[in-house]
Chains A and B, each alone.
Chain A
Amino acid sequence: GAVVSQHPSRVICKSGTSVKIECRSLDFQATTMFWYRQFPKQSLMLMATSNEGSKATYEQGVEKDKFLINHASLTLSTLTVTSAHPEDSSFYICSARGWSSQQETQYFGPGTRLLVL
């Protein structure tokens, strides 16, 4: 199946700093990428939809100025958590939507665990 990578896999930062997470589709071009957040024992919560070359669409309740999304190419989207606080600690997962083996699919990256001290 298609491969999506995320970097870093784990990050620990101090409160007030910004953290950038990269999401790459490695063997297909992703027309759309999605960013999710998952708290322990809960399902995935969609934060925003990122389309290449255009502004991201944020879900209700997600602060666009705090969670900056850039989708500069068909294989790369970035999520920047600005001025991170302990409550931003979570598991952030991206998924990429694109065509692979003549089928439109959506695959998840391995996730990034963020811990804000």
Chain B
Amino acid sequence: EDKVVQSPLSLVVHEGDTVTLNCSYEVTNFRSLLWYKQEKKAPTFLFMLTSSGIEKKSGRLSSILDKKELFSILNITATQTGDSAVYLCAVVGYNQGGKLIFGQGTELSVKP
């Protein structure tokens, strides 16, 4: 059965800290892994990863995929209170019509 497991489920840090969010997956015919940020509205797209070992970076956020070990991490450096959100990891396989399989999400709270 295809599944995505994120850890930790919740995390509280202080501004300036660096955090690493984890996502492990099992999916038939892996195609890509996506990271989203969700605040009090719909998820916003962060990264899509398809190849192992290639880091994607956007400002203080970065992500990398390990297709051999079936996991991805999302790093946030110098966290700010505006980074507080639920971070969702999702995978999609070939021959699944593009359906995303979501993890439970990691709720990040950044304290001033």
Contacts and interface: CB of A to CB of B under 8 A. Distances in A.
Interface of A: 1, 6, 31-32, 34, 43-44, 46, 49, 51, 57, 91, 93, 95, 97, 103, 105-111
B29 to A, nearest CB: 15
Interface stretch (B16-24, B38-46, B72-80): B38-46
Interface of B: 34, 36, 41-45, 48, 88, 92, 97-100, 102-105
Contacts of B104: 43
B48 A111 contact: no
A110 B42 contact: yes
Given A31-B98, A43-B105, A97-B98, 10 more contacts: A1-B45, A32-B98, A43-B102, A43-B103, A44-B43, A93-B43, A103-B48, A105-B48, A108-B42, A109-B42
Nearest to A103: B48
B9 to A, nearest CB: 11
A34 B97 CA distance: 10
27 contacts: A1-B45, A6-B42, A34-B98, A34-B100, A43-B88, A43-B102, A43-B103, A43-B104, A43-B105, A44-B102, A46-B99, A49-B98, A51-B97, A57-B97, A93-B42, A93-B43, A95-B100, A103-B48, A106-B98, A106-B100, A108-B36, A108-B43, A108-B45, A109-B42, A110-B41, A110-B42, A111-B41
